[in-house]
Amino acid sequence: MDQLGEFLRSRRARVRPQSLGLRGGARRRVPGLRREELAQLAGISVEYYQRLEQGRAANPSTEVLDAIATALSLDEVERAHLGTLAHPVRGRDARAAAEVRSELRRMLDLMERIPALVINDRFDLLVANRLANELFPDVANLARHLFLDPAARSLYLEWSDVAAATAAQLRLTAARYPADRELTALIEELKRSSDAFDTYWASGDVEIRSSGTKRLRHPSAGVLTLSYENFDAPGDPRQRLVAFTAEPGSPTDATLQLLRTRPAIDS
C-alpha cells in the first residue's frame, strides 16, 4: 500500500486550479493540480516529484516537503502526516497493547458519574466503566461496530461525520505503524465489507479529534448530547482515555444519572 503516493494524489485532486490563478475548465482530464503544476509551485522538477509520488524518491528533504505542503495548502495535521509517510520510523513497536494498567482501570471505576472508556489507536475498546457499557454494550472495536453493525447508524445521530473522522484517524495510525498486522487486517476488512469506509478511505483525509460533541440515540433512554475529551494514557502512547460529560442540569445529565442507578450491563 503506497500511502505516500495515495496521499499526494488525493491532495492534488483537492486543489482548485482557479484559486491559484491557473486555468481550469473542461480541458482538464483529472481534477485538481497536474503534477507539473504542483512541481512548479513547489520549485522542484517534475521528474523528481513524479518519483516521489511513485515512491521512488528516497529521503526527501524537509525543505522539499515543506514546499510541497505549502503548494497543496496542507493544514498542520496533514503536514505532519506527509512527514511521517516520507520518513517512516523503522522498528517502531507495531503492537497495540491490549492490557490496561490496573491504576487506569481503577480510575475509570471511580468516574462513576460519567461514561469513560479506554481505546487504542485501532479503536479496540479495551475497558469501559458502567455508564460507557450502557452506551456501547458488547462492542469490541468501535470502528468495526461503526461501519459493519447496522445498529450504529441508529446510535450515532451524526453517523457520517463520525465515520469520516474514524477513517481519517485510522489513516494516521496506519502511517505511524505500517507493520501493525492487526491494523492492516482491520483496514482491509473495512474496505472490503463497507462501501462507506472504502469511500472515506479513498478520500485520503487525515484528522485528529481530541474533543468534540457526540449525539447518541440510546435504545431506551433516548437522545443523549455528550461532550467528549481524549487523553493520552500514561505509559502507552497507543492508548487513550475517552471521557464523556453532559451539561450540568441538562436532560442528558439527568438521563445519565438514571442509567447509573439501573442494574449494570455485564461487560
pLDDT tens, 7-23? 999 999 999 887 776 76
Is residue 40 pLDDT above 50, yes or no?
Answer: yes
Distances (CA, A) of 213 to 49, 225, 227, 244: 40, 7, 4, 9
pLDDT of residue 91: 61
- CA 153, 177, 241 angle in degrees (round to 5)? 55
DSSP 150-198: THHHHHBTTHHHHHHHHHHHHHHHHHH-TT-HHHHHHHHHHHHH-HHHH
Q: Where residue 267 falls among pLDDT bands split at 50, 70, 90?
A: very low
The yes-or-no verdict on residue 174 having pLDDT over 80 is: yes
**pTM for the predicted model, two decimal places:** 0.89
Residue located via cell numbers 471521557: 243
pLDDT of residue 4: 92
Residues 5, 11, 15, 21, CA torsion sign: negative
Which whole number is the average pLDDT over 25-49?
86
Judged by DSSP in three states, 244 sits in: strand
**Domains (range + CATH), the chain:** 3-86 (1.10.260.40), 102-261 (3.30.450.180)
Question: What does the mean pLDDT of the chain come to?
Answer: 91
How many Cα atoms are found within 13 Å in the side-chain-facing hemisphere of 164?
Answer: 6
pLDDT (tens digit per residue) in 188-215: 999 999 999 999 999 999 999 999 999 9
**Mean per-residue pLDDT, 216-228:** 96
Is pLDDT above 70 for 44?
yes
Residue 252 has pLDDT above 70, yes or no: yes
* Res 235: pLDDT: 82
For residue 13, the model assigns a pLDDT of 92
> How confident is the model over 72-125, as pLDDT tens digits?
999 999 999 999 999 987 766 667 677 899 999 999 999 999 999 999 999 999
